[in-house]
Structure 1
Amino acid sequence: MAPKKVALSWSGGKDSCMAMDKLARKGYEIACLVTTVPKEIGRTFGHGERTEAIMAQANALGIPVAFIACTFDTYTADYEARLKELATEFGFDAIAFGDLFLQEHRDWGMGVAEAVGIEALYPLWMAPGDTLAALRTFVDSGYRAIVIRTSDRVFAESWLGRELGVSFYEDISSLGPAVCPMGEGGEYHTFVYDGPLFRRPVQFSKGAVVQLETTKRLEIVLG
């Protein structure tokens, strides 16, 4: 029987990468990556990343990426309309999300999938208390990622650009229960650039640090 085709909501970070890996291990075929780009910003909705960086990831993975242009006011309607078109174009009958435990995010994704007439998958869904173990799973997975965005409330600028390795795992473990080790509360975001499903690494360097309203962002410079 042919593998089930799914679209994957793709932020460029570790959670969507872990979802992709888990789906692949279960025999699913990733038909395309789906990334939202609000018209008001011109960068990805999830992490504020440039679309060129997402395209570089998709090319390194050998998976097509589809950008969904949307506005804040009509986000859900724009998403549903474009997702319906993509389901026909790529022939998928499910969309997977990398959410971990935030129920309102899951409810939104399931509502979107129902409106489009496809299934919503949450391959990483877990209890909040399981997030430290999930981070260790990523650290040991062979995928490589760096921190590209941090909350001023939680982290000093020195956390930007850090590899998600053993030292990162140990340091974030020491911060206590107020900080989600996986950053599900927006504490930090990441950029994945290599790993088992990548055909080649994404070549990049670390650019300038940009201060935003409540967060700092490390720019990714391709090449």
Structure 2
Amino acid sequence: MFDLRFAGLFSGGKDSVSSILRSVRQGHELRCVIIIHPKDDESLLYHYPNHHILAKVAGAIGVPIIEIKCEKNDKESEVDNLYNGINQAINQFQVKGLCHGCIHSEFQMNIFRKVVEKFNLKLLSPLWKIDTEIYYNTLFKDNFEIILTRVAANGLDKTWLGKTITPITLRDLRNLSNKFGFNLDFEGGEAETLVMSCPLYKKRIVTKASKSQWDGIRGIFEISDVELIEIKRSNA
């Protein structure tokens, strides 16, 4: 028997995917994922790069998907859109909890706390205050395949766009983080990621068409289409 039926906020990034996986492993039942499509790149709460492919990416999990489109990017409007998504999850899938990938941001955490209080839900925060090195080691142990889809920090140039985060590239990122002072878990918007494969996925994400955009300061690895490939896992 599952401990709690929950909805997972899904951005496709390492934090949202890892938090959902951790919640499932804790014995909770993932009933659906909620995707919030922000109006533009100035969103305070949601990932903008490649949001147009997220429904297809979320298909790799194999659960129902709720999509909400933001018409404005101010805090109040974005929170209202989250209310809308959660309300649908409650009505359609009888969820009793909400999972998010927040790590250190008190701003985001306070919003999520108010949201679940409004709906009398349990807040699942499996990554809250996790040590960065322990976190990455866990991702590697679980064979997460993670690529960088956006960079916006001093020290991160266009060569990082589309690059996979591995123990070797993490070492390089750590050195740059120490030199330039950006947050290595990227929660402050220094970079954004997309999970291509992990234990939560039933299928692997493969990029079919993409291009890098760089304005001299920041850039986006824009993916126009992806393909889902069956993952062959050993039962041993």
TM-score normalised over the length of structure 1: 0.89
How far apart are 1:33 and its partner, in Å? 1.0
> Are residues 136 and 113 of structure 1, via their aligned partners in 2, closer, same or farther at CA, if it must alter by over 3 Å?
same
1:72-87 correspondence to structure 2 within 5 Å: 72-73=73-74, 74-87=77-90
Matched, 1:31 2:34: no
Which secondary structure does the structure 1 equivalent of 2:192 belong to? strand
The count of corresponding residues between Structure 1 and Structure 2 is 220
1:153 counterpart = 2:142? no
Q: Which residue number in structure 2 is paired with residue 222 of structure 1?
A: 226
Paired residue for 1:65? 65
> What is the Cα deviation at residue 154 of structure 1?
3.4
- 1:72 offset after TM fit, Å? 2.1
The equivalent residue for 1:124 is: 127
Indicate if the aligned counterparts of 1:3 and 1:27 stay in contact, CA closer than 8 A: yes
Q: Which moved more, 1:137-146 or 1:91-100?
A: 137-146
Q: What secondary structure, in the 3-state scheme, does the structure 1 residue paired with 2:126 have?
A: coil
1:129-171 deviations in Å (ceiling 9; x for gaps): x212212221222121111100143301111111111112111
**Structure 1: which 5+ runs fail to align?**
none
Distance change (3 Å), C-alpha of 1:82 and 1:14: closer
Amino acid at match of 1:96: C
CA RMSD between the two structures: 2.3
For 2:202 and 2:15, the matched residues in 1 are separated by 19
Deviates more, 1:1-10 or 1:141-150: 1-10
Deviation at 1:3, TM superposition (A): 3.7
1:168 aligns with 2:169: yes
Contact 1:31/1:90 (CA < 8 Å) preserved in 2? Answer: yes
Q: Structure 2 CA distance, aligned partners of 1:30 and 1:212?
A: 39
Moved more, 48-57 or 182-191: 48-57
Within 1, Cα distance between the matches of 2:156 and 2:86? 36
Distance 1:212 1:10, change over 3 A: farther
Give the counterpart of 1:93 among 91, 96, 113: 96
Amino acid at match of 2:140: V
SS of residue matched to 1:203: strand
Letter in 1 for 2:226: L
Cα offset, 1:214, TM superposition? 5.5
Q: Which amino acid aligns with 1:156?
A: D
Q: Which moved more, 1:48-57 or 1:167-176?
A: 48-57
Q: Secondary structure at the match of 2:60?
A: helix
Range with greater deviation from structure 2 (139-148 or 172-181): 172-181
Q: Which runs of 4+ in 1 moved over 4 A?
A: none
What TM-score does the superposition give when structure 2 sets the normalisation length? 0.84
Unpaired stretches in structure 2, ≥5 consecutive residues: 228-236
Match of 1:192 in 2: 195
